[in-house]
Structure 1
Amino acid sequence: MKKLDFLYLASQSPRRSQLLEQIGVRHELLLANAAGDAPEDAEAIEAVLPQELPADYVQRVTALKLDAAVARHRRRALPVAPILCADTTVALDALILGKPEDADDAARILALLVGRRHQVLTAVALALPDGRRLAALSVSQVCFAALTPAQIAAYVATGEPLGKAGAYGIQGHAAAHIERIEGSYSGIMGLPLFETAELLRRAGAGCLAGPEQAVK
């Protein structure tokens, strides 16, 4: 089969696009709810099922997002290429901590995390034009320093926690309060590059540049 020289990234996250650029992966965005599109209910896809464990949750949501992206691609009659989806969740033991509803909710979530170790799980899924699907899961450990309520409030006031699972972004102001990580930094950001590159290599996709192309 002819190697494909680009993929579709079905994600609103600018960080995921930047991470793909970092390793030289040529991609185009395949976003939901474009003009004339059928509406998609992202909240329903991301709803947690009763008693669902974090690893099961993030892999199920990623698979559903990939289903929606494949259907979106088909409806738009776009050129054929692999489709990549990812989803990230933060977990404190078995408790799934999603995106905060507002600033107060962000402060509540952060109060649970500070001074403790938690997990960041990112699932990646790839749909290929021949019908194959490949998937991977990255699990990392993150340790926050103990923060005072005033420090939490100051971080929430930056606006950075909103829209992020676990109410923080490791690539932003929160990095000043993270004592230690174990695992994938890029996975904590939202797209584990090693696992993603392995999926592309397994798929034989030509959109993954070699080292001489990726390094500028």
Structure 2
Amino acid sequence: MSHLVELRTRLMTVTIVVIVIFAVLAFFSDRLYSLLAEPMLAVLPPGSQLVAIDPLTPFSTPLRLALYLAIIAAAPVLLYQAWAFIAPGLYQREKRVAAPLLVSSMLLFYAGCAFAYFVLLPAMFKFLAITRPEGVAMMPDIARYLDFVAIIALASGFSFEVPIATIILVLLGWVTPKQLADARGYAIIAIFVIAMIITPGDGVSMIMMAIPMCVLYEAGILAARIIAPKSRDGSAGAPR
């Protein structure tokens, strides 16, 4: 029961933090949505704008964006509460490894979302604007635009977790850094397939998404070689 009470307390703490951040961001929700719409507005003809099909979306959509941002902004608090809950049950070596992984995963996720907003989305929207049929005007609905950007940002954020995934696989003993390096060719093919699924499928945005993932895959192999315990023959590998 003491563990359940502690878990409830920590969940309530995270919930309160999200509510407080949301309450602050709600005052700037219209401005935040304007910033979110800039990648799309930049490729639309002068005078064009997003539209609202449903009467409630001009009010609800900016608030939904504020809620999404509040949850993302509260992620460090969530990770800290999760860490404080499970840390007492971990060994010292597990603590030394888990703490940097949690911090790195959070920073990589933020970096992936920023990459999507500043690099990937402008390239995607420019491609979509160029390839649209003649006589068809681009007038996206604000709610669907938010959903589309949220999916791309989440996909990009999780894609940047490649180094964390490789390190965890090595620490679990499922693979070794050498096996990851030997499977580099298959990994690159898988990365390009994932990039093709995330992006509209044009060559430019697909390559722009795949290149950072390939670099992060190599960074994950390098980090796994440093973190992974040494086997008896002196090579980095899984614990016996």
Using the size of structure 2 for normalisation, the TM-score is 0.30
Q: Which is bigger in relative contact order (C-alpha 8 A, separation at least 6)? A: 1
Which structure is higher in helix share?
2
More strand by share: 1
TM-score by length of 1: 0.33
Structure showing greater radius of gyration is 2
